[in-house]
């Protein structure tokens, strides 16, 4: 067990999901990263043509120089059916009109093209003031189906025990007094298999396909 992956399970799940998504795409496929930030996922698409798009306002400390286009995700500067696939990774919480953004991503995808989307469910405020929403499983399903997508898979990123562990570790950052929670925080994920419902989760990883 690698400790960083064990602690940062959500991030590890995201990286694994992006890697698996890229592996299923044919060489030469045109891939949109909608909300690319620093384009950290570009390296996962060496066989495809990766296009990173972001408005570039989320984090003042980030370097947005690697973007292929600076644009509002609710008004993408591409023609209908341009892309063969798309990813939208923990970005939908940062847009004011998520339904419009999902519809725009659908518009620029060709028919049958896949989309990998990851959203937070229970997560602290980040990139303030550009942090607006959190999503339940049903909320994400509604956004996608209304935008013309069919859901292939939708998985919670852990259950309540992993969520509690992450919250305890976050508390340690706030106060050294909370460091007494560290041993408990490291043990809690071992019990995550007991949570079958996974209604309390850090977020969701979803693969959908444009109808």
- What pLDDT sits at residue 60? 86
Counted domains in the chain: 2
pLDDT at 4 over 80: no
Hey, is 53 helix, strand or coil? strand
Considering the chain, what percentage of its residues have pLDDT values greater than 70? Answer: 99
Q: Are residues 183 and 203 in the same domain?
A: no
pLDDT at 30: 98
Say yes or no: 139 and 164 in one domain: no
**201 and 175 co-located in one domain:** no
Report yes or no: 35 and 54 within 8 Å, Cβ to Cβ.
Answer: yes
pLDDT at 1 over 70: no
Do 85 and 176 lie in one domain? The reply is: no
Q: What is the CATH number of the domain that holds 106?
A: 3.40.50.150
Cα–Cα dist 159/176, whole Å: 26
In sign, the C-alpha dihedral spanning 61, 52, 148, 23 is negative
Mean pLDDT value of segment 95-103: 98
Is 85 found in the same domain as 172? no
What confidence tier does 59 reach under pLDDT thresholds 50, 70, 90? confident
Rounded to whole angstroms, the Cα distance separating 116 from 22 reads: 10
Q: What value does the mean pLDDT take over residues 49-75?
A: 95
Domain holding 206, by residue range, is 3-159+196-210
Res. 3 pLDDT band, cuts 50 70 90: low
Question: Looking at per-residue confidence, does 206 or 172 come out higher?
Answer: 206
Distance (Å) of CA 71 to CA 8, 74, 82, 112: 30, 9, 16, 25
Dump pLDDT digits (tens) for 11-20: 999 999 999 9
**91 and 65 belong to one structural domain:** yes
pLDDT of residue 182: 86
Chain centre distance of CA 49: 20
- SS3 of residue 210 by DSSP: strand
Mean pLDDT rounded to a whole number for the chain: 94
Let me know the angle formed at the C-alpha of 204 by 105 and 195, rounded to the nearest 5 degrees.
165
Query: Cα separation of 156 and 120, whole Å?
Result: 10
User: In terms of domains, do 188 and 91 share one?
Assistant: no
> pLDDT tier at 58 (50, 70, 90 boundaries)?
confident
What pLDDT was estimated at residue 174?
Answer: 75
Residues 119 and 96 in one domain: yes
47 contacts 23 by C-beta, under 8 angstroms: no
Q: Give the position of tokens 């341009």.
A: 82
Same domain membership, residue 190 and residue 97? no
């Amino acid at each position: 067990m690698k400790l960083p992956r064990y602690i940062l399970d959500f991030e590890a799940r995201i990286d694994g999901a992006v890697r698996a998504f890229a592996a299923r795409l044919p060489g030469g496929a045109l891939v949109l990263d909608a909300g690319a930030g620093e384009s950290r996922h570009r390296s996962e698409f060496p066989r495809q043509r990766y296009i990173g798009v972001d408005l570039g306002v989320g984090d003042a400390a980030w370097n947005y120089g690697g973007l292929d286009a600076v644009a509002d995700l609710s008004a993408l500067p591409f023609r209908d059916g341009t892309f063969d696939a798309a990813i939208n990774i923990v970005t939908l919480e940062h847009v004011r009109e998520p339904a419009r953004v999902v519809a725009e991503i659908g518009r620029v995808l060709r028919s049958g093209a896949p989309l990998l989307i990851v959203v937070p469910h229970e997560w602290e405020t980040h990139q303030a003031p550009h942090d607006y929403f959190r999503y339940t499983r049903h909320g994400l399903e509604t956004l996608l189906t209304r935008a013309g997508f069919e859901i292939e898979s939708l998985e919670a990123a852990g259950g309540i025990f992993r969520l509690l562990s992450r919250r305890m570790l976050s508390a340690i950052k706030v106060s050294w007094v909370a460091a007494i929670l560290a041993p408990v925080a490291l043990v809690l994920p071992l019990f995550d298999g007991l949570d079958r419902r996974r209604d309390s989760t850090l977020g969701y990883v979803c693969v959908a396909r444009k109808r």
